[in-house]
Chains A and B, each alone.
Chain A
């Protein structure tokens, strides 16, 4: 690891004062919370901050449900949220996405805020032996464009980066219209989860909209997303402890044998968690006829761009949507 000074502030305002910058790779000061992603990146010299500011003990770890909906403190662990009775009962999509993520050990350590800000698993980003990675070294190129790109994105890509956002949690949350609460030295603000991550465009090293010093303090999920029939379908290369090749988060409201309203988001295919409003519109009013579902899911292919090894994802993600809608619809 690159040498760093470790700050262990007593409270959140002290932590904010260091001006740590989450979500960009060239920041000299960074936060560490659960550390499961950060320590890997430090070990591999992918991140080389001069100063690390620990968020241990200074962030809310509560899980609350009320008339407004669900509020997850940023320091709540993946395991705590996945097992929480109110989450399991009213927002099972979140629990499912979490239980399909990482391993039991990592879920005991990793936090909600850190999960959303974890870095891509693109092997060219994670291995400093490759020189070309615009996300790691701005302007150095992208080795994935013509490289081993089976795991890479087909939505939201640019000519500078095709790395996938790896979080399952974020996919479930974006389908449920969640927001994140941010706190900085200048005050608090709330940002829809769909706006938290940036598209790579020509600045893939800037991943999130956080300002220097800002931290995620909580995730909020509106009550309107509670109680929907939902399913998180994750397609991966091994049965457990693996990132998604393609995942689909679906939540539907039914009216007899028809879908009244649908929410659909995809993981494993986008440079950020990817919501599909066009598919949702097509599903509204549809019955569960396979041909109808397939037609709606086909709209997910709009704007996709494969790079060779990952071309199969464009078909696979449509099938994942259909399967997830069918499973969600079959739930009591």
Chain B
């Protein structure tokens, strides 16, 4: 427990992240047994918990090479969040449907939850953490703030990474085109109108920069 001066004792040296991780593991096991009856047999659950031989994986994230030892089942998203503590990329559905985990791989937008980390070796990966130039926000980050293009913010980093790609691909020509080419990113708050406006603004900045 922390005292009034804010120093902590040895027993409290557990970070919020570690606590959340522990809770997630325990909670997941309970959910697996109770909410999906017959879905996962005890033998299967045991097998799933069994260790598989870790792989040496080298990942290039935002220009920095990271050497990791990973279970082959680790997705790129889990490698980013759980192993490299780059938690800007979010896990929404974990099944490729919501787009909250969107990152750029060799300049192209992909869903990090659908990539096995070991198969992303040798690729150039950019996450939301690598978008700003020092203190200077990327034009789309700035326009998301200007346009108030989020409420809860959970989908925002995925929206921004997808939006950056949408602009660089040349698919930001009209609100209709933006909506079609941003269809891989869901926003449960329904901030779509503002997201489209933010992408239009940033696309205009991008084209004027190129022309200038």
Contacts and interface: CB of A to CB of B under 8 A. Distances in A.
A312 interface: no
A43 B93 CA distance: 11
Interface residues of B, number: 45
Given A2-B47, A3-B73, A36-B114, A104 B38 contact: no
A79 B171 CA distance: 13
B53 A105 contact: no
A241 B50 contact: no
Interface stretch (B11-19, B128-136, B140-148, B180-188): B180-188
Contacts of B71: 3
Contacts of B38: 129, 131
Contact of B96 (A2, A36, A79): A36
Contacts of B40: 45, 128
B115 interface: yes
Contacts of B183: 103-104, 239-241
Contacts of B165: 104
Interface string B38-75: 11100010011011110100000000000000011101
A40 B114 CA distance: 7
Interface in A36-62: 36, 39-40, 42-45, 48, 52, 54, 56
Contact of A105 (B72, B118, B184): B184
A131 B38 CA distance: 8
Given A105-B102, A128-B40, A129-B36, A32 B119 contact: yes
Contact-residue bracket for chain A: 35 or more
B162 interface: yes
A67 to B, nearest CB: 32
A6 interface: yes
B151 to A, nearest CB: 21
A288 to B, nearest CB: 29
Interface of B: 36-40, 44, 47-48, 50-53, 55, 71-73, 75, 94-96, 99, 102, 105, 108-111, 113-116, 118-119, 162, 165-166, 169, 171, 179-185
Given A35-B116, A42-B73, 20 more contacts: A3-B50, A4-B73, A5-B72, A6-B116, A8-B119, A36-B114, A39-B96, A40-B96, A40-B114, A45-B40, A45-B48, A52-B72, A104-B165, A104-B171, A105-B96, A108-B105, A127-B39, A128-B36, A128-B40, A241-B184
